[in-house]
Amino acid sequence: MHVNAKKIAFLGLLLAIAMVLTLIGGYFEPSTLFFMAAAAFCTGIAVRECGLYGGFAFMAAGVLLAFFLAPNKLYIITYGGMSLYIYAREFAFEKIADSRTMRHRTAVFWAIRYAVFNIMFLPILFFLPKVFYAGTISPLIMAGLIVGAQIALFIYDKAYDYFQVTMWNRIRKSLKL
């Protein structure tokens, strides 16, 4: 695989930004999810600018570097999960866009996104429920957590779409990438 120096330098700077956001999220507890999401958005930038292989390398490097730098190791799982979701989302988008015969592409894309999220989220919820809720978990609370997570995913997706379409396109033009 031939990667030019400009892409490697870009990914290195992007990784530094992602790590700064991850570290800030570890120190400002009320805004942890915001900073973890912002750091995970960098994975989407890496995929869009450097392709699937570059994006995967970026995601793996981000998780490994966060393991050594982050003070709270639980945040690494959060960052890794969010980054993996963004990578899977971009991967699905590219594969669906390449398919010429697929019908109902938007519905398939939404179904894949929710399937990927639930494959990651539901086992953690059922096998490690104390990560999400400290008390005893009744079926009603469990249902509330599942529904709330689906709503949170919808908001996360909309924020990511807004970031990529509006914010990153502006930044990209000023960087002349």
> How much is the pLDDT for 80?
92
> How much is the pLDDT for 149?
93
pTM: 0.88
Gap between the Cα atoms of 164 and 44, Å rounded = 8
Gap between the Cα atoms of 1 and 106, Å rounded = 32
- For residue 117, what is the DSSP state? H
What residues contact residue 47 under an 8 Å CB cut-off, 6+ apart?
A: 54, 55, 58, 86, 87, 90, 91
Tell me the pLDDT tens digit for each residue of 57-81. Answer: 999 999 999 999 888 888 888 899 9
| Predicted confidence (pLDDT) at residue 1 exceeds the cutoff of 60 | no
Tell me the pLDDT tens digit for each residue of 97-128. Answer: 888 888 888 889 999 999 999 999 999 888 88
- For residue 164, what is the DSSP state? I
> How much is the pLDDT for 101?
83
> How much is the pLDDT for 5?
84
Tell me the pLDDT tens digit for each residue of 3-40. Answer: 588 888 889 999 999 999 998 988 887 888 899 999 99
> How much is the pLDDT for 72?
82
Q: Could you tell me the pLDDT band of residue 137, with boundaries at 50, 70 and 90?
A: confident
